[in-house]
Structure 1
Amino acid sequence: MSADLRSFFGRPIIIGGGIAGLMTALQLSPEPVLLLSRSLLGADNSSTWAQGGLAASFGEDDDPAMHLADTLAAGDGLCDRDVASRILQAAPKAIEGLAGFGVPFDRTPKGSLSLGLEAAHSRRRIVHAHGDGTGREIMRALIAAVRSTPSIVVVEGVEARRLAVRENAIRGVWASCSIGPFFFGSRRVVLATGGIGGLFLDTTNPWGSCGQGLALAARAGAVLADLEFIQFHPTALDGPERPMALVSEAVRGEGAALIDETGQAFLQSVPGAELAPRDVLARAVWNHLADGHHVFLDARQRPGPAFARHFPTIASACRGAGINPARDLIPIRPAQHYHMGGVAVDSFGRTSVEGLWACGEVASTGLHGANRLASNSLTEAIVCARWVAESVAGTPARRTRPAFANVYPPPAPIPVRVFLSRALGIVRDGEGLKAAARALLPLAESKDGVSDPAAVGLMIAVAALLREESRGAHYRTDFPHHATAARRSEITLEAALAAARELGHSPSSEGAK
């Protein structure tokens, strides 16, 4: 095995087997690439679970400028306009490229792409594959393409535990699998393992998505951005199952309504009602639940009998809960869904650490701002994968020496879930954030499996504490209004640890002991 590993030294390493990782590997072809996936490709990742589609301006009544305007409005002042414009202009061609890999996008009888409507979009511009099975169908096509590409070596069942860094430059990846630890030497590494849902009690993400990519970057000394912005989807299927099944807002785009147990449509005062931006709608649903109500999605009339045909994945989840959406109300509640923050990157996906790139949900490009516009995330992943690959390919390969593999325990996020769910949910306040930071500090400084999830949670808590305003998905009851100036946030693990230690010595904390 060690001889085989030595033969891979110097290849670009991609960490993550979702859409961002697979697309980056394919775009790098024919350059030899090593792709590490902690599970079998297509299993236990958010990409496969993605019900929403890809947003792009294909319609005759649409253009990239309109798509940009909707993105900026949803982002609540924090989008990077230039980055967003560049990504959205490239989106239609990138989606056509996916069709070339065999993704069976839904089409009209005339053969054109069938375009759906989702929240905060002013036009129908959402491209789907097999209704609500878009992520699954994209993954199926990309996995087949990767497995048939000789230059891509896929190593499954291997989890990256640390990045080897010397003088702020990447030297390789320490990883672990069932038969032991290994070191993969490389000066070019791409992080494509995103998602933090496993750090929350209520989530639509796989339990295994515990912010590993953020932890890898943070331990390597990278700068992270906008960590406080966490999107809660307003309509997750309310029941005992965890993770929770998502009820895509495409259902609302087809006319389904939100009502409470009295039958009241309680969103009359919310601009946009069912199709308001996700942060606005999630807070409205959360507040109605907090007032003692139950909330349901009523799809009995629209889409009605066509529900199972348009949304087979959601219909299956509902059947498992004893619900027929064409006849019954669907109980819903908000759940953690997407992380707008991530590793700070430039327009080519380069991080603050030399030789380290990030792509997909793990990256913070500036597209999403304070609140992601629906279905922009898959679009971002496929567009940025090409630019990341071009940057990696344009960086000369240099030799790196083998190193002994350090053993780091696998992530154990269970203790962290309670702290983050309590303090970093839809509604936040300063005292709760301080309490979470103090509780997470000793866990982040420990040497066991809880250390990395706690470090990620700590950075999010400190970033949220430092943002003394409410903007997008970040809402604080003690600072309910916008600050005068909009600003993106940046943080490192070292700075977060120092801030938490300072909180531990503050007069208020001494009095609480």
Structure 2
Amino acid sequence: MKKSDVMIIGSGIAALQLAHHLSADKNVMILTKSNIKASNSSLAQGGIAASVGSDDHFYNHGKDTMEAGRFHNNEEVVLQVVSEAPQLIYELRDAGCPFDEAPSGQLILGMEGAHSRNRIVHSGGDATGKHVIDFLVETLTNNVSVIENIFVYELLLNDKEECIGVKAKDQDGEIQYFYADHIVIATGGCGYLYSLSSSSPTVTGDGIAMAFLSGAEIADMEFIQFHPTMLVKNGEVKGLISEAVRGQGARLVTKSGTAIMAEVHPLKDLAPRHIVSQTIFDYIQSGEEIFLDITSIDRFEEKFPTITALCLENQIDLKGGLIPVVPGSHFLMGGIKVNMDGQTNISGLYAVGEAACTGLHGANRLASNSLLEGLSFGKRLALFLNKFESKQNTIGIPFHNQHGTVSPVAIPDLTELRKKMMERVGIVRTEKGLQQQKNWLEGFFRLDQQPPSLDDCTIDEIQRFLSTVIALLITDAALVRTESRGGHFRLDYPSEDENLGSKQLIYQYCKGRLALNEHNKAKDHAGAVFS
């Protein structure tokens, strides 16, 4: 039996920040289904948003966060996170994490979409995620053990409905059991469920799906952020072109040179991501190719070495100054509903990072708030867990089998699922397309069904089944929300509905019953601080 004080599933920035801040006397275990550095956090070209500039204040950062989130945010969470952002940056820098600085020692601050100030802290230009993850991995302490290439697929609950461990498969398909006093899901979002995506292939929503199937509350799944600028070649996404490029002056143009954002929004190319993505989508639907014009940026190769290498690798001629782009799935605002300490509604189970729905992002994440959220909630959860004393190791911890005995009869092909999600539940949605997708997915599984046993399935089959569950949660929530807000755009309901803005859709499966509850987020607000 493998027993730890704290078990962390996933290895992105939230997971590693949590491990760093847990007490040295805690026995900590990190389980990750791939390499410890294979996460969306490592791929993050953008930086970390923090009001460290002399002309900035966390109030401005909070207002921008609320505006980008279309006021669907939990204002109390926004206030807490943006106010502590500068301290989180300075703590990392003082610990030895490198950030880009001027010769004077001042942090160099970049601009990104929907921000009112230059407040984006970078490391290595456009390689912030990689540098921060490298630092956090290399400085893990001896009380933290890491098991790579282990696929966690089911939570173990005892008779009191407390989470006490997980079930996993190793690369040989052997089932492994892991137990802990505290189990933390930090598995990231589900971006790879879309055929056009910036996400790592490992990011398929497994943690959220298994939490749902165990009775955890899942919220805001309809809100998917589509990043406007994915590098595209022959119809395939090759990588992400950071919003920082537009922050340096790049413009979105047609092949003939028409600036497509000039008359759409006061911030033009730095408008909120959902507005830019929807604009590009409209042009592509009408047969136009869209490019990022970088001719106005001096020393582009020096400022953006990662993007330069990506373009050269895909034979994009930077001398011509035009990078072909399309919008694609980038970030999930929803996830496992948690409180300020990362607690879920299941005792012993926690969630941080993109897998969690904290309320920070609302209906659409502000650029560079994702790494910030991971740092903030990773540390906050660690401080909460440090208060607990270790429980005694108990050999043969009892748990009840919450899943059925029958393996799933049919599971969709992941390539087909990704294609249909992009077509029917993508940037622009309609009732017809959403209902078609729901009907298709329910041919494999329904959200009110008892979960099947996955023990006899291969890792690939388990991942595809869990992807089906996530796809259904997104599709159904998008069907229920009859308005357009942030990352959720309904062509048949193109406007925001004031009555729906504060309503949060919460899904919960429990003992053979699916509950869909509406939570009034207005109760969470701290007094309209950022109005």
Query: Shared topology, TM-score over 0.5?
Result: yes
Distance verdict in 2 for CA 1:491–1:477, change over 3 Å: same
Distance verdict in 2 for CA 1:411–1:383, change over 3 Å: farther
In structure 1, C-alpha distance between the alignment counterparts of 2:512 and 2:77, rounded to whole Å: 27
Cα deviation, residue 186, structure 1: 1.8
In structure 2, C-alpha distance between the alignment counterparts of 1:157 and 1:101, rounded to whole Å: 29
Q: Is the 8 A contact 1:183 1:402 kept in 2?
A: no
Which AA in structure 2 matches 1:119?
Answer: G
Cα deviation, residue 489, structure 1: 1.8
Q: Match of 2:221?
A: 227
Q: Indicate the SS of the match to 1:238.
A: strand
In structure 2, C-alpha distance between the alignment counterparts of 1:13 and 1:123, rounded to whole Å: 38
1:281 to 251, 276, 280: 276
Q: Give the number of aligned pairs.
A: 489
In structure 1, C-alpha distance between the alignment counterparts of 2:512 and 2:276, rounded to whole Å: 31
Q: Is the 8 A contact 1:29 1:152 kept in 2?
A: no
1:152 to 132, 137, 144: 144
Cα deviation, residue 493, structure 1: 4.3
In terms of fraction of residues, the more helix-rich structure is 1
Q: TM-score normalized by structure 1?
A: 0.91
Q: Indicate the SS of the match to 2:233.
A: coil
Q: 1:185-196 residue pairs with structure 2 within 5 A?
A: 185-196=179-190
Q: Indicate the SS of the match to 1:198.
A: helix
1:405-441 Cα offsets, whole Å, 9 max, x none, are: 9999999733421331122100001121111111112
- Structure 2, unmatched stretches of 5+, are 447-451, 517-531
Q: Match of 1:81?
A: 75
2:374 to 345, 362, 381: 381
Q: Match of 2:348?
A: 355
User: 2:505 aligned with 1:489, yes or no?
Assistant: yes
Q: Indicate the SS of the match to 1:274.
A: helix
Q: Which moved more, 1:182-191 or 1:125-134?
A: 182-191
In structure 2, C-alpha distance between the alignment counterparts of 1:259 and 1:497, rounded to whole Å: 50
Distance verdict in 2 for CA 1:56–1:412, change over 3 Å: farther
Q: Which moved more, 1:438-447 or 1:202-211?
A: 438-447
Which AA in structure 2 matches 1:59?
Answer: G
Q: Is the 8 A contact 1:462 1:496 kept in 2?
A: no
Cα deviation, residue 38, structure 1: 1.3
Distance verdict in 2 for CA 1:360–1:496, change over 3 Å: farther
Q: Is the 8 A contact 1:72 1:79 kept in 2?
A: yes
Q: 1:309-328 residue pairs with structure 2 within 5 A?
A: 309-328=302-321
Q: Match of 2:66?
A: 72
In structure 1, C-alpha distance between the alignment counterparts of 2:316 and 2:437, rounded to whole Å: 37
Q: Match of 2:442?
A: 441
Q: Indicate the SS of the match to 2:278.
A: helix
Cα deviation, residue 226, structure 1: 0.4
Q: Indicate the SS of the match to 1:421.
A: helix
Q: 1:92-241 residue pairs with structure 2 within 5 A?
A: 92-146=86-140, 149-166=141-158, 167-179=160-172, 180-240=174-234
Q: Match of 2:525?
A: none
2:361 to 364, 368, 385: 368
Q: Is the 8 A contact 1:183 1:403 kept in 2?
A: no
2:391 to 389, 394, 398: 398
1:110-157 Cα offsets, whole Å, 9 max, x none, are: 1110000000000000000000000110011011011xx111011111
Q: Is the 8 A contact 2:445 2:469 kept in 1?
A: yes
1:333 to 301, 311, 326: 326
Cα deviation, residue 398, structure 1: 3.4
In structure 1, C-alpha distance between the alignment counterparts of 2:130 and 2:118, rounded to whole Å: 22
Q: Is the 8 A contact 1:191 1:358 kept in 2?
A: yes
Which AA in structure 2 matches 1:62?
Answer: D
In structure 1, C-alpha distance between the alignment counterparts of 2:109 and 2:121, rounded to whole Å: 5
Q: Indicate the SS of the match to 1:186.
A: strand
Q: Match of 1:459?
A: 473
Q: Is the 8 A contact 1:412 1:453 kept in 2?
A: no
Q: TM-score normalized by structure 2?
A: 0.88
In structure 2, C-alpha distance between the alignment counterparts of 1:47 and 1:363, rounded to whole Å: 15
Q: Match of 1:291?
A: 286
Which AA in structure 2 matches 1:26?
Answer: H
Cα deviation, residue 499, structure 1: 8.8
In structure 2, C-alpha distance between the alignment counterparts of 1:100 and 1:108, rounded to whole Å: 16
Q: Is the 8 A contact 2:222 2:488 kept in 1?
A: yes
Q: Is the 8 A contact 2:232 2:324 kept in 1?
A: yes
Q: Which moved more, 1:100-109 or 1:204-213?
A: 100-109
Q: Indicate the SS of the match to 2:241.
A: coil
Q: Indicate the SS of the match to 1:11.
A: strand
Which AA in structure 1 matches 2:148?
Answer: E
Q: Is the 8 A contact 2:230 2:237 kept in 1?
A: no
In structure 2, C-alpha distance between the alignment counterparts of 1:101 and 1:324, rounded to whole Å: 40
Q: Is the 8 A contact 1:10 1:398 kept in 2?
A: no
In structure 2, C-alpha distance between the alignment counterparts of 1:333 and 1:73, rounded to whole Å: 24
1:448-490 Cα offsets, whole Å, 9 max, x none, are: 5232110111011111111011111101011111112212221
Which AA in structure 2 matches 1:244?
Answer: K
Cα deviation, residue 443, structure 1: 2.2
In structure 2, C-alpha distance between the alignment counterparts of 1:56 and 1:220, rounded to whole Å: 36
1:337-357 Cα offsets, whole Å, 9 max, x none, are: 111111100010101111111
Which AA in structure 1 matches 2:230?
Answer: A
Q: Is the 8 A contact 1:203 1:244 kept in 2?
A: no
Q: Match of 2:524?
A: none
Which AA in structure 2 matches 1:478?
Answer: D
User: 2:8 aligned with 1:14, yes or no?
Assistant: yes
Cα deviation, residue 402, structure 1: 4.0
Q: Indicate the SS of the match to 1:25.
A: helix
In structure 2, C-alpha distance between the alignment counterparts of 1:346 and 1:396, rounded to whole Å: 21
Q: Let me know the Cα RMSD of the aligned residues.
A: 2.3
In structure 1, C-alpha distance between the alignment counterparts of 2:186 and 2:236, rounded to whole Å: 24
Distance verdict in 2 for CA 1:426–1:241, change over 3 Å: closer
Which AA in structure 1 matches 2:28?
Answer: V
Q: Is the 8 A contact 1:462 1:499 kept in 2?
A: no
Which AA in structure 2 matches 1:428?
Answer: R
In structure 2, C-alpha distance between the alignment counterparts of 1:209 and 1:490, rounded to whole Å: 22
Which AA in structure 2 matches 1:170?
Answer: C
